[in-house]
A and B are shown apart, each in its own frame.
Chain A
Amino acid sequence: DTGVSQNPRHKITKRGQNVTFRCDPISEHNRLYWYRQTLGQGPEFLTYFQNEAQLEKSRLLSDRFSAERPKGSFSTLEIQRTEQGDSAMYLCASSPRDRVNEQYFGPGTRLTVT
């Protein structure tokens, strides 16, 4: 396993711009999760995919946020019209079909909105 990878690792953008992040889960992991973490807090659940189906979205995920996992492999998280409050670390995690209790996190994408 090469681990969960996320790109970019860092993103600085101006308020009002759109940004897109990518997550590549561990190969053959069918579940994929997006979390957001701010300084001094634990990760907060955003959304979850089982294969290509998006099964749940948090109320934190406003209509400016959209996530996809078109082929059941990599996923993208897009934020439109970014706001300063969107500044955070965006973490992706995946878990395998036969060990659903284990979530493996990627290194995260740190977003700074100026």
Chain B
Amino acid sequence: GQNIDQPTEMTATEGAIVQINCTYQTSGFNGLFWYQQHAGEAPTFLSYNVLDGLEEKGRFSSFLSRSKGYSYLLLKELQMKDSASYLCAVRSPANNDYKLSFGAGTTVTVRA
């Protein structure tokens, strides 16, 4: 089975930095994904890590440690539009499929 944990809520100030942690225990591992989901909208892809280390994409960075079953998403220079739910998802190799197992999501609220 899959067990993916992330905090329920986080609040930060505009212009600040927020780090969203995700820990996972899965049967096999073939990549970790972060998605952003605004209320009432579809999830949108942010990042993908399959090897240990940091992947940087503009204001967003994602880190992975496979030995620790741990990832984080770092949001820098927060903007009001970054208020959303951030979903951590893991892909496990099975039957050559690419389904994702998602955590419950972390709701980030950016305040002025």
Contact = CB atoms under 8 A, between A and B. Distances in A.
A59 to B, nearest CB: 11
Given A105-B43, A106-B42, A55 B48 contact: no
Given A55-B95, A101-B31, A42 B105 contact: yes
Given A31-B98, A100-B98, A41 B43 contact: no
Contacts of B96: 55
A41 B8 CA distance: 10
Contacts of A56: 94-95, 97, 99
Contacts of A33: 99
Given A43-B102, A44-B102, A56-B95, A101 B48 contact: yes
A108 interface: yes
Interface string B82-110: 00000101010011111111111100000
A65 B31 CA distance: 29
- A-B pairs with the 9 shortest C-beta distances? A42-B102, A105-B42, A45-B99, A105-B43, A42-B87, A43-B102, A56-B97, A107-B42, A101-B48
23 contacts: A4-B42, A33-B99, A42-B104, A42-B105, A43-B102, A45-B100, A48-B97, A48-B98, A56-B95, A56-B97, A91-B42, A95-B98, A101-B33, A102-B45, A102-B48, A103-B45, A103-B100, A104-B45, A105-B35, A105-B43, A107-B41, A107-B42, A108-B42
